[in-house]
Amino acid sequence: MGILDSIKKTLSGKASGGKRSGDADAASPSASAELPAATPADTPTAGSTYVVQSGDTLWKIASRAYGDGSAYPKIFEANRGVLKQPEHIVPGQQLVIPPRAE
């Protein structure tokens, strides 16, 4: 049997609902389950912590967290122990995103 015949046989088994040997039973624990929807890791929120991603700047982080990039000094001040200058952030750093001032 050639590779095309093998593919046709495999596809016809799936189309007819037939079970091939080696198929996992849908009710068995070994069957793959749908994963829950992922929450965006790149979305900083006010009053939380955020892990810096490649390409981030404090301006971008403030824009996403507060809707205003010019609020970046607030994030810088909250992270003085980690950051020496606002333009020197690196991927993997964990930053505190302070809550919005009301």
pLDDT tens, residue by residue, 23-72: 444 444 444 445 333 334 557 776 789 999 999 999 999 999 999 999 99
- Both tokens assigned to 32: 């793959």
Count of beta carbons in the 10 Å neighbourhood of residue 41: 9
At residue 100, the pLDDT reads 82
Contact between 53 and 42 (Cβ < 8 Å): yes
Contact between 83 and 74 (Cβ < 8 Å): no
- Both tokens assigned to 68: 């205003």
From the centroid of its chain, how far is CA 97? 18
Q: How far apart are the first and last CA of the chain?
A: 72
